[in-house]
Structure 1
Amino acid sequence: MALLDLDPSVVATARELAARAAEPVVSLAKAHTTVAVERATLRLAGITGADSTHRAGDVPWVNRVIDTVREQCGLEHGVVLPAFHALREHNLGTLTELAEATAAGQIQFRIPTGKDLTAARKASTSAVSKGLKSVDRNRAQRDKLITKWGDPAQRPWIYLIVATGDIDEDVVQAQNAARAGADIIAVIRSTGQSLLDYVPEGATHHGFAGTYATQENFRIMRAALDDVSKEVGRYVRLTNYASGLCMPEIAVLAGLQRLDMMLNDSMYGILFRDINPIRTFVDQRFSRQVHARAGIIINTGEDNYLTTADAVDAAHTVTVSQLLNEHFAHEAGLPDHLLGLGHAFEINPKVPDSFRLELAHALLARELFPDAPLKWMPPTKHMTGDVFDGYLLDGFFNLAGVLTGQSILLVGMMTEAVVTPFLSDRDLALKNVRYVLNAAGSLAEDFRPAPDGLIVKRAHQVLGEAVGLLERIVDDGLLNAIADGTFGLMKRPAHKGKGADGVVEKAPEYFNPASEMLEAQSG
C-alpha cells in the first residue's frame, strides 16, 4: 500500500534525525545499570520466591539480595559477581538459599578477585544461559503451536482487554472473549503497579482496575489461553505490560512464561508515571533486548499523547515518537515484525472532516512503517458516556482500521468512561468489529485518496512537522525536549522522577552475562 506519495528523501531524513536524537540516550543507557536490570539478571539466573516473614508483607528474594549487595559493596560491578562468589563461598545450592541466608544476616558480599572472580563469572554465565535457553524454548514452542493451531485468518488481529483484578475471573472473561472472536487478550495491570519497585509473588485476587502482573498470573493465563486456542482452532496471544519500575524483570518473566506481546514504550513511564528518564531508558533497552530474544511483539504507547494533547495539533509528536521508538527498538535488536508501534483514533468528532484526518494519520503510520504490526487504538478521550454515540464512533474507528491496513485493532468499548466493561459490553463491542471487518472485506483495495485531496496533504504536513521537530530535538537534546513538555504536554526533567535512586553508573569492570549475551544477539 503506497497511497500518499511520500518523498523518500524526507522519510530518510526523518529516520536519520531520529537516530541522531536517540544516539546520546543510547550511550547513556549503555553506561548505566539499574536495580531492575540487576534483579532481572538474577531472575534469569533462577532466583524465585519471596520472604513471607517481613512485617511489611512479602518481599521478593531478589530484592533482598540486590538491596544487600548494593549496601555492602555497590552495584557498579553488577550483582552476579558478589552473588555467585557468596554462593560458592558459603557452599549454597541455589540463589534462593543465598537470599534466605542474606535475610538472616549470614552473608557479607564483596567483589571477588583472582580465581574467585573467574569462578563467579563462569558460574553466573552458566546460570543466566540456562534462563535464556528457557526463553528460547518458549519461543520455539510458540512457533510450534501456531503451526499446529493456526493464526487468525484475517488482519487486523482483534485485541481485547480484560481487567477484573482477580486472575481467576480474568481467565473466564479471556476464554469467553477468545470464543467470541478475540485474537489477543491483554490483561491490564492493577492501578499503580508500575510504581512498585518489586514484582509481587503468586496468584492475585485483589487488583484495582486491573490484575497484578506476576509470574504465576502469567502462567495461569497462558495455560488458559492454550486450552481455548486448542478449542477455537487458532493460537490466541497473551499481552501484559513491561513498563514502570520493574520493566526488565517483567520482560524476563514474560519470556519465561511465553507471553506473546508486551506494552513497552520508550517514554510512556517518563511522561505519564513520572519515572526518572535515565532509569526508563536504561530499563527499556534491556527489556527490549529480552523481548527480541523471546520473539515478543512490543506495543508502544503513542496513543497516550493524544489523551493529554490535541490529536490534530500534536499529530506530529506521535510520528516523532514512533520514529524514536523504531530506532531504539532496532538498536536493541528488535526487528520490524516485532515492532507494534502505537497510534490512536482520538480526534474530537466535532472537528470538521475528523474522519478524513484520522485516515490521513493512520495511513501515514502505515506507509512509514510498512513491515511493523501497527497497533491502532480506539477513541477514549471523546467518549461521553452516551453508549449509542460511543458505539457509532467505535464503528468509524474499526472502519478506519480496515481502510488503512492496521495490524492490531484494540476493541473499543461503548461504556468507556462509564463503567468497567461487563462481559455483555465486550460481546457487543466484538460484534461491532466483526460486522465492520466482514462488511468492509478488502475495501482497502478500492480506497484511493485523491493525490491533491485533504488526506494526502494532511499526511505530508504531519511528516514535515515531524521533521521540523526532530531537527529541534537534535539541536536541544532528547532529554531536554522531554523536560520541556514536547510529548503529551508533560514536563519531566532528566534528574527528577521516581526511581532515580535506582540508577547506577557502571564501573569499567562491570559484568553482566545477560547483557553480554543479549548484546551479542542485538549486534
Structure 2
Amino acid sequence: MARVPVDQAKVDACRACAAEVADDVQHFIDRHTTVGVERTVARSYGVEGADGEGTPLSNVLVDRLHKAGHLGHGVAYFLGRALVEGAGSIQEAAEVLAYSEEADLAPGRVSAAEARGALTQATAAGLARIDGAREAREAFKARFPAGELPLKYVIVATGNIYDDALQAKAARYAGADIVAVIRATAQSLLDYVPEGPTTEGFGGTYATQENFRIIRQAADQSAEETGKYLAQTNYSSGLCMSEIAWMAAVERLDMLLNDAMYGILFRDINMQRTFVDQYFSRRIIARSGIVINTGEDNYLTTADAVEKAHTVLASQFINEAFAKRAGLVEEQMGLGHAFEINPWLEDSFLFEVAQAQLVRQIFDRHPIKWMPPTKFKTGDIFHSHVHDAMFNLAGIMTGQSIELLGMFSEAVHTPLLMDRYLSLKSARYIFGAGRHLGEEIAQWKPGGIVETRAREVLDSALELLEEVRKETIWDAIGRGAFGDVKRTRTGGKGFRGVVERHADYVNPILEALERPEAP
C-alpha cells in the first residue's frame, strides 16, 4: 500500500508522552489492590465454588476481609497463614475464612514472609495452569494453516451457551477465523462471575469459565472438521476484568477485549479501579500469550469521527504504553480503530483510508483490530450491506489484521445465522477481489486528501498527548478528552473496592508474573 507521510520524530514524541502518562498511573497501581484483583488471586490458588444463592466463594472470602478492613494485606496472606497454622488445603482455608464465625480475620501471628513461603507450591501450580493452557493451545493451533489477513471475526450472542456453540461451528463452516461470544448486557457491571454454564442472557451470553470451556470445545471440533483453526475471544473488562482474564488464560482463549479506559468511559466504572484491574489482567494475559483487543473504536460512536479521529490515535499510544508496563509484546496488542465517518460526507472513503493506513504504519508489529460501521446504520439493510462492503475494501487495501465483520441488520436486531453468512460471503468476495489492491497503489497524490488527513491526525494526536501528559490522565478523562465522556477520579461503580496496599502486602502470583524471566 502507498504509505502516508509519518514524521517519526512526532511518533516518538507521542510514545514519550504516553510513557509519562502511563508511568504516573503505574505509581498509583503499585500502591493499590482491588477486590477484583484479590478474587483473581484466590481463584488462581484453586478457590472455587459458590454458596446456595450462587455467590462465588472468592467473593464471600474477599468481601469479608474487605469489610474487616484487612484486604490491604492481600488475600494470599490469609490463605498462606492458614496453611502455616495447619489448614489441610487452600480450599479449606478459604471456606473457613469466608463462612466461619470463629475465623480470625485480623493479620498477625504469622509474618508476610512465612505466609508467602507457605504458598510457594500453590503459586507454581497456578502459573503452571496458565503455561500448560498456552502450550496446549499453541500445539493444537500448529496443526492448522493460519488464515489470510485480515482475519474474519464474527459475533454470536444467543443468550444460551449451547446455541452459541452451534452458531460458532456454523460460523467456521461459513469462513470465520475468529468467533466472539458477546457478553450479556450489563455483565460488565456485575461484581462477580456466575458459576457454571448459562442458558439465559439478554443481548448476549454470560462470560463464565464453564461457558469458555464449552465454546473452546466447539471451536476445536470445528477446526478438526474443516481443517482451519477457529480462534475464540471474549471480554476481559468491567468489574471482573482480571478474574475473566484468569479464566480465559486457563481455558485456552486466543483473544480478549481488554482496554485501559473503555470501562471508565462507556460503563462508568471508577477509573482507579479500572487501572489497577487492567494491570493485573494484562499481567495474566502477557503470560498466557493471549492477544488483546482495545476499544478505541467506541470513541467514534460518541464523538465525531472526523473531528476526533486523533483521540483514537492518542489512546492507542496510551494503551500501548500500559500494555508494555504489564509485560505484553507488540504482537499481543490488537489496538482498535473503526470505520465510523458519516458515509454521506464527500470523500469519506479517502478519510477512512488515510486513518487506517496511518494506524497500520505507526503500529506495524501490532495485530490491528478494525471495527465496522455502526453509528450511521439504519433499518435500510441494503445500504447497510454496501456500507460494510466499503469498510471491507478499506481493510484489505490498508492491510488490517483483524476485521470484526459488519452485519447488514446491525440496526434492526441481533444478527441471525443468515446475516452472518452473508457478511462472511461479502468479506470473502472483497478480500479476494482486492487482495493485492494496496500493493498496486504506489503513491498517494502529494499534498492530496489522504496525505493531508494523515498529517493532521498525527499532529492533533501529539497535541492531545502533550496536554494529557501535563494535566495527567485523571484530569484529562475528567474534562472529556476521550469520546466526549467525562468521569471523575472517585466517581463511578466499584470505587469502594479499591484498597491501599499495606506495607506487608502479599501477592506471590503477581510477583511471579512481574519477574523478567516470565514468558
TM-score normalised by the shorter chain: which range applies?
over 0.9
Partner Cα distance (2:426, 2:266) in 1: 31
The residue number in structure 1 matching 2:136 is 141
1:289–1:522 CA contact under 8 A, matched in 2? no
The residue number in structure 1 matching 2:475 is 480
Q: 1:247-303: per-residue Cα shift (whole Å, max 9, x none)?
A: 010000001101110000000000000000010000001111110000000000000
The residue number in structure 2 matching 1:181 is 175
Q: Kindly indicate whether residue 452 of structure 2 is the aligned counterpart of residue 452 of structure 1.
A: no
2:195–2:209 CA contact under 8 A, matched in 1? yes
1:41–1:128 CA contact under 8 A, matched in 2? no
Distance apart, 1:522 and its partner CA: 8.1
Change (3 A) 1:295 1:371: same
The residue number in structure 1 matching 2:374 is 380
Task: Give runs of aligned pairs for residues 3-402 of structure 1, distance below 5 A.
Answer: 3-52=3-52, 57-89=53-85, 91-95=87-91, 98-99=94-95, 102-114=98-110, 117-152=112-147, 154-402=148-396
Partner Cα distance (1:96, 1:244) in 2: 29
Please give the secondary structure, in 2, of the residue aligned with 1:393: helix
The residue number in structure 1 matching 2:515 is 520
Partner Cα distance (1:328, 1:96) in 2: 37
Distance apart, 1:72 and its partner CA: 3.0
Distance apart, 1:453 and its partner CA: 1.4
Partner Cα distance (1:456, 1:21) in 2: 29
Partner amino acid, structure 2, of 1:483: G
Distance apart, 1:476 and its partner CA: 1.1
2:320–2:333 CA contact under 8 A, matched in 1? yes
Change (3 A) 1:239 1:138: same
Please give the secondary structure, in 2, of the residue aligned with 1:185: strand
Distance apart, 1:123 and its partner CA: 2.5
Q: How many equivalent residue pairs?
A: 517
Distance apart, 1:337 and its partner CA: 0.4
The residue number in structure 2 matching 1:434 is 428
Partner amino acid, structure 2, of 1:38: E
Partner Cα distance (1:456, 1:112) in 2: 65
2:49–2:195 CA contact under 8 A, matched in 1? yes
Please give the secondary structure, in 2, of the residue aligned with 1:395: helix
Partner Cα distance (1:165, 1:280) in 2: 26
Q: 1:67-110: per-residue Cα shift (whole Å, max 9, x none)?
A: 12223351111111112323453533242563266324342223
TM-score, normalised with respect to structure 2: 0.97
Distance apart, 1:113 and its partner CA: 4.1
Q: Give the counterpart of 2:497 among 485, 489, 502.
A: 502
Q: Does 218-227 or 82-91 show the bigger shift?
A: 82-91
Q: Give the counterpart of 2:461 among 454, 459, 466.
A: 466
Partner amino acid, structure 2, of 1:466: A
Partner Cα distance (1:309, 1:506) in 2: 37
Calculate the aligned-residue CA RMSD, in Å. 1.5
Please give the secondary structure, in 2, of the residue aligned with 1:282: helix
Q: 1:318-345: per-residue Cα shift (whole Å, max 9, x none)?
A: 0000000011001111000000000000
Q: 1:37-78: per-residue Cα shift (whole Å, max 9, x none)?
A: 0110111111111112xxxx3100001111122233511111
Partner Cα distance (1:470, 1:187) in 2: 34
Please give the secondary structure, in 1, of the residue aligned with 2:143: helix
Change (3 A) 1:504 1:284: same
Partner Cα distance (2:328, 2:112) in 1: 33
Partner amino acid, structure 1, of 2:17: L
Partner Cα distance (1:341, 1:405) in 2: 14
Q: 1:226-255: per-residue Cα shift (whole Å, max 9, x none)?
A: 111111112211000000000010000001
Partner amino acid, structure 2, of 1:89: E
Q: 1:422-470: per-residue Cα shift (whole Å, max 9, x none)?
A: 1011111111100101111221111232232110110010000011111
Unpaired stretches in structure 2, ≥5 consecutive residues: none
2:84–2:118 CA contact under 8 A, matched in 1? no
1:149–1:235 CA contact under 8 A, matched in 2? yes
Partner Cα distance (2:102, 2:207) in 1: 32
Partner Cα distance (2:83, 2:63) in 1: 16
Distance apart, 1:29 and its partner CA: 1.0
Please give the secondary structure, in 2, of the residue aligned with 1:178: helix
Partner amino acid, structure 1, of 2:197: A
Partner Cα distance (2:38, 2:297) in 1: 30
Change (3 A) 1:96 1:310: farther
2:234–2:255 CA contact under 8 A, matched in 1? yes
Runs of 4 or more above 4 Å deviation? none
Partner amino acid, structure 1, of 2:414: T
Q: Kindly indicate whether residue 400 of structure 2 is the aligned counterpart of residue 417 of structure 1.
A: no
TM-score, normalised with respect to structure 1: 0.96
Distance apart, 1:514 and its partner CA: 1.1
Partner Cα distance (2:87, 2:136) in 1: 36
1:87–1:98 CA contact under 8 A, matched in 2? no
Q: 1:487-514: per-residue Cα shift (whole Å, max 9, x none)?
A: 1111001111100000011112111011
Distance apart, 1:362 and its partner CA: 0.4
Partner Cα distance (1:227, 1:347) in 2: 39
Distance apart, 1:129 and its partner CA: 2.1
Change (3 A) 1:467 1:394: same
Partner amino acid, structure 1, of 2:129: S
Unpaired stretches in structure 1, ≥5 consecutive residues: none
Please give the secondary structure, in 2, of the residue aligned with 1:135: helix
Change (3 A) 1:326 1:110: same
Partner amino acid, structure 1, of 2:375: K
Partner Cα distance (1:76, 1:340) in 2: 33
Partner Cα distance (2:78, 2:2) in 1: 55
Q: 1:165-204: per-residue Cα shift (whole Å, max 9, x none)?
A: 1000000110000111000000100001100111100000
Change (3 A) 1:32 1:94: closer
Please give the secondary structure, in 2, of the residue aligned with 1:409: strand
Change (3 A) 1:432 1:98: same
Please give the secondary structure, in 1, of the residue aligned with 2:515: helix
Partner Cα distance (1:522, 1:166) in 2: 41
Q: 1:122-155: per-residue Cα shift (whole Å, max 9, x none)?
A: 2323212211111101111121112112321x10
